[in-house]
Amino acid sequence: MVDPSEQLRRLPSVDEVLRKLEHLTAAYPRALVADAVRRALEEERQAILAGRGASEGGLEARVERSLERLAAPSLRRVINASGVILHTNLGRAPLPAWEPIAGYSNLEYDLEAGRRGRRDAHTADLLERLLGRPAIAVNNNAAAVYLALRELAAGGEVVVSRGELIEIGDGFRIPEIMAQSGALLCEVGTTNRTRIDDYREALGERTRLLLRVHPSNFRLEGFTARPDLKELVALGKERGILVYEDLGSGCLVDLRPFGFSEPLPQDSLRAGVDLISFSGDKLLGGPQAGILAGRPDVVARLRRNPMYRALRLDKVICQVLETTLRHLLLERYDQVPVLRMIRQTAAEIRARAEAFLERVPGLPAELVEGESLAGGGATPQQPLPTCLIAIAARDVVEAEARLRSAQPPVIARIEHDRLLVDLRTVFPEEEAELARVLQALSW
């Protein structure tokens, strides 16, 4: 066994390795190549000191691979064959087709008046037509909640049911965002049962808001109770206190005929809620955004808050949101991938799956009944019936990993020792690529 100190002495200098990799400087900046060499040498030193010895494969080859990784995009298109429509790790809602504006745009320029315009002019009219109330958009729904609480309740109390003090993705908790906003939490009721009198008894001089939070990523069942929204609105009007509802998933289209029961923001506004908020990248089917809509004077206050500028949309998201909202307003639902996927029936997916298997002769697979999920913190416990392609691989874990490393990567799921592919979340134009990837693997 070679002594570690001897191994360290044998490591080449940076200049020695650079001379061997001189050809790479034609494709990469010399300083970047030198930095990659230093990093590779440091990794070698740490491996030797840890007792693992020098790595195999050659130092020069490792440097070249690291540079290739830097040059390749990290954010890549993947084929979602998991059947989870709003897959949080895959960007939630798949975006509708759109063409990014290269160069300049009229983001904040009024072309008719020839002077500075408002950034949200591109989405405000569409949102108001869809919701029937003025609305603004910020960069996500957590930001929307923060802005609302900061402007409307900082230094005062916000009354909310204990059953609605929820945590959503990535550790975002309602009590914590409330604390950051400067609002004070006033919990009422119990985890499973809260009555309108619980809210009434909690009201005081410092009360600024009655907050209702829709449990979009879980369901409470059994011995439960919560006041009707109209009761909460009536109490707010009686005491002159604003009622704010965070709806989470933002479903603007009635999906009950397709198996989803999710509250519509339009209904909350018609019930008299002063302000609502919801996400843009869930059941709305657009990019990451947070929408706030409600009484004109309340929305105007939010727009004037200095934090609105800090939380506003950038020009790319503004364009995608405008595209999505226009599709919704014109009822071009098939142009919004989330809505198109939800509206597919199990029979339609079976027909696609049968035709797909003909493209992959020899694939050890069968069609089985199964379920697709909305995912992304929307419509929990409301699966959609689907038809799955169940593949009997010799090693399902290895097969799933090989799909992820394919070009393009394919995300499937494993259940009962079978690899499952759900075409509900696969775009029709991706089927040829998916067939090629599956055909190339050894099963």
pLDDT tens figures, 19-56:
999 999 999 999 999 999 999 999 999 988 887 765 55
Q: How confident is the model at residue 177 (pLDDT cuts 50, 70, 90)?
A: confident
pLDDT digits (tens, 9 = 90+) for 132-147: 999 999 999 999 999 9
* Residue 96: inside a domain: no
Same domain, 9 and 122: no
pTM of full prediction above 0.75: yes
Average pLDDT across the chain, whole number:
91
Same domain, 285 and 405: no
Same domain, 321 and 378: no
Pick the closest to residue 93 from 342, 419, 352 (CA basis). 342
The token duo for 384 is 């959609």
Q: How confident is the model at residue 72 (pLDDT cuts 50, 70, 90)?
A: very high
- What's the confidence (pLDDT) of residue 9? 87
* Residue 410: inside a domain: yes
Q: Supply φ then ψ for residue 238, to 5 degrees.
A: -60, -40
Same domain, 298 and 152: yes
- What's the confidence (pLDDT) of residue 143? 95
pLDDT digits (tens, 9 = 90+) for 149-166: 999 999 999 999 988 776
* Residue 108: inside a domain: no
289 neighbors 313 (Cβ within 8 angstroms): yes
Pick the closest to residue 381 from 217, 166, 164, 212 (CA basis). 217
Please give the angle made by the CA atoms of 310, 311 and 313, to the nearest 5 degrees.
115
| Kind and range of the H or E run holding 119 | none
Same domain, 67 and 85: no
Same domain, 156 and 304: yes
Mutual angle of helices 431-440 and 346-357, in 10-degree steps: 50
Domain range for 259: 118-333
378 neighbors 395 (Cβ within 8 angstroms): no
The number of domains in the chain is 3
pLDDT digits (tens, 9 = 90+) for 246-284: 998 889 999 888 878 888 999 999 999 999 999 999 999
Q: Which amino acid is at 288?
A: Q
* Residue 239: inside a domain: yes
Q: How confident is the model at residue 170 (pLDDT cuts 50, 70, 90)?
A: low
Q: How confident is the model at residue 421 (pLDDT cuts 50, 70, 90)?
A: very high
Mean pLDDT of 410-415: 96
252 neighbors 267 (Cβ within 8 angstroms): no
Same domain, 216 and 196: yes
Dist. CA 411–CA 82, nearest whole Å: 6
* Residue 35: inside a domain: yes
| Strand, coil or helix: 234 | helix
Pick the closest to residue 434 from 423, 420, 419 (CA basis). 423
The token duo for 15 is 């200049």
* Residue 224: inside a domain: yes
